[in-house]
Amino acid sequence: MNKLTTIESHFLQQQKLYPEVNHEVTDLLHDVAFAAKLVRREVVRAGLADILGLAGTTNVQGEEVKKLDLFANEKIISAIGQHGRFALMGSEENDSVIVPPKNDTGNYVLLFDPLDGSSNIDVNVSVGTIFSIYRIKSDDPGKASLDDCLQKGAEQIAAGYVIYGSSVVMVYTTGHGVHGFTYDPTIGEFLLSHENIVTPERGKYYSANEGSWHEFNEGTKRFLDYLKEEDKATGRPYSTRYIGSFVADFHRNLLTGGVFIYPATKKHKNGKLRLMYEANPMAFICEQAGGRATDGERRILDIQPEELHQRTPLYIGSKHDVLIAEEFEQGKR
Ligand code: AHM
Ligand code: MG
């Protein structure tokens, strides 16, 4: 039988191998994995909301039923915030930075999207939690400010996501490869299932919301047309796969190879996805797995953020495919 590796023992292995992955960092990751278990517990029961009480109403026990994304947000803030390891937190669900209790002891900042793709929950489609960790710039956690949150993605010390799908998988990186763990509900542990994920150099899938065709610019349209042309030498046509849940689309493309695009459109002039909560953590993971992530011109991880909820166009996935997307976006093809 294979030796089982829990996520906690994997964190400790990383701690032994890499000096910058110190016990503070592994404690933070441990907190995130724990919070993910709490969110999972509710997500897998989402279909029961109709029976136990619709969101916004009271359930049979007379308790108020919260919308799952708000529930996930509150759980993550309370489960992680209470340990005093983070000076500040930022969530896609909160307009401004969150100051956790005991914030004067934490040297780190946590940015997260508690339940990405939450509009898919009612139809039983996979959703996910995405997170990103930075070290504060000053030596005094009590003085941490918005500036400590607005760091370039290249400064992340760890990032990851949890996908609540047919199984629950947590994927993370500390800058030393990308590792995936599948949750075993019988023992309540995430177990190593995808060691050192390497994404294919070139994929066979593309993921884009082509319903927005008339809102795309000419470069995006030409790129999508190119992917659909037949050319055996370059493996075209590619197949379309679009779930509309970023974590799920990203996770599939990471494992099988492919390119996900959410470009600037007439409706979403700066793209739809958030730089700090979605693009940066996934770009860090993607690059660590050998892929590429840009806004069509710039490396995502090099963008200096100006505000917490900033949006960005996003081209992410297999290196070769993202490079071609950029050439179309830049009018070179
Ligand atoms: P949300 O933050 O409102 O959940 O939106 C993010 C989601 C992503 O999960 C997904 O990639 C994208 O929106 C889909 O957008 P669209 O429906 O425009 O294709
Ligand atoms: Mg989101």
User: pLDDT tens for residues 201-233?
Assistant: 999 999 999 999 999 999 999 999 999 999 999
Task: Report the separation in Å between the CA atom of 16 and the middle of ligand 1, taken as the mean of its atom positions.
Answer: 38
Write out the residues surrounding ion ligand 2, Cβ under 5 A: 113, 116
Domains of the chain, earliest start first: 7-194 (3.30.540.10), 205-329 (3.40.190.80)
Q: Which of 42-51, 94-103, 141-150, 221-230 has the lowest mean pLDDT?
A: 42-51
Q: Is the CB of 85 under 6 A from ligand 1?
A: no
Q: Is the CB of 246 under 6 A from ligand 1?
A: yes
φ/ψ of residue 248, rounded to 5: -70, -45
Amino acid 102: pLDDT: 73
Q: Which of 237, 69, 286 is nearest to 294 (CA)?
A: 286
Q: Is 110 one of the annotated binding-site residues?
A: no
| Ramachandran region, residue 215 (left: φ > 0; alpha: ψ -120 to 50; beta: rest) | alpha
Q: Is the CB of 179 under 6 A from ligand 1?
A: no
Which atom of ligand 1 is closest in space to residue 69's alpha carbon? 4
Amino acid 63: pLDDT: 56
The yes-or-no verdict on residue 54 having pLDDT over 60 is no
ipTM: 0.97
Q: Which of 24-28, 81-85, 299-303 has the lowest mean pLDDT?
A: 81-85
Q: Which one has a higher pLDDT value, 104 or 278?
A: 278
Give the number of whichever ligand sits closest to the CA of residue 276. 2
The yes-or-no verdict on residue 92 having pLDDT over 70 is yes
What are the helix and strand counts (H, E) for the chain?
9, 12
Q: CA 185 to CA 181: how far, in whole Å?
A: 12
Edge-to-edge, what's the strand order for the sheet holding 258-262? 239-240, 205-207, 258-262, 314-317, 292-294
State how far Cα 75 lies from the chain centre. Answer: 18
Mean pLDDT of 80-95: 90
Alpha carbon nearest to ligand 1 atom 12, residue: 244
Amino acid 56: pLDDT: 63
For residue 87, with 0-12 CB atoms within 10 Å meaning exposed, 13-18 middle and 19 or more buried, which class applies? buried
Q: Is the CB of 317 under 6 A from ligand 1?
A: no
Helices 7-17 and 23-43, interaxial angle, to 10°?
160
Amino acid type, 316: I
Q: CA 180 to CA 192: how far, in whole Å?
A: 6
Q: Is the CB of 118 under 6 A from ligand 1?
A: yes
Mean pLDDT of 157-168: 96
Give the number of whichever ligand sits closest to the CA of residue 131. 2
Alpha carbon nearest to ligand 1 atom 15, residue: 244
- At residue 61 the predicted structure's pLDDT band, cuts being 50, 70 and 90, is low
Q: Is 115 one of the annotated binding-site residues?
A: yes
User: What's the pLDDT tens digit per position in 180-191?
Assistant: 999 999 999 999
User: What's the pLDDT tens digit per position in 306-331?
Assistant: 999 999 999 999 999 999 999 999 99
Which atom of ligand 1 is closest in space to residue 262's alpha carbon? 11
Q: Is 69 one of the annotated binding-site residues?
A: no
The pick from 67, 91, 92, 116 for probing ligand 1's pocket by mutation, whose C-beta has the most ligand atoms within 8 angstroms, reads 116
Q: Is 118 one of the annotated binding-site residues?
A: yes
Task: Report the separation in Å between the CA atom of 242 and the middle of ligand 2, taken as the mean of its atom positions.
Answer: 15
